[in-house]
Amino acid sequence: MDRGCVQVYCGNGKGKTTAAVGLCVRAAGQGLRVLFLQIMKDGTSGELRGLAHLPGVTVLDGPQVAGFPGLEDQAPSDGLAERHRLRFREAVRRVSGGGFDLLVLDEANGAMHQGLLPAEEVAAFLDARPKGLEVVLTGRHPPAAILDRADYVSEIRCRKHPYREGQAARRGIEW
């Protein structure tokens, strides 16, 4: 790609990660090389296993937290912010070498919102990223500095969700 864009999938609705995973599948199907970093989740999401089987897709699991991001404000545990920064820097190091066409930072917006990832550092990376690298950031509450740099912003709004009626998250559907 001559020019990579920045895409932000945000909002309080279900489907932000699903949209990013769909883009990964599309990119891999066209022979593009993808790096998918998932943070703010507990590492059991089914998309990680599925993506790991796709040719051209590299999955990095990031520092994990308990609970569902965005539904409650969690105080960062000792060292969690540093682990997030180190994993983000690992992803930046990998894509800066030119070996990838698409980088997905799943739940990065939530990590920045909760102080687990510095928005200034992510914004600086977006400004300095390789010319052809497409970057997707998902999660609730994207910082203004990220929205300012975005070429696409898709807001997914929740109008109805069974969680509100007491239904637990289901394996293979929500995770």
Q: What is the DSSP string of 43-102?
A: S--HHHHHHHTSTTEEEEE----SS-BTTB-PPPPTTHHHHHHHHHHHHHHHHHTT--SE
Per-residue pLDDT tens over the stretch 107-161:
999 999 999 999 999 999 999 999 999 999 999 999 999 999 999 999 999 888 8
Between residues 8 and 42, the one the model is more confident about: 8
CA angle 5, 25, 39 (to 5 degrees): 70
CATH node for 6-146: 3.40.50.300
Residue count of the chain, please give it: 175
Q: Region 48-67: what's the mean pLDDT?
A: 82
**What percentage of residues in the chain have a pLDDT greater than 90?**
66
Q: Region 55-62: what's the mean pLDDT?
A: 89
Q: How far is CA 71 from the centre of its chain?
A: 17
Confidence label for 66 from pLDDT (cuts 50, 70 and 90): low
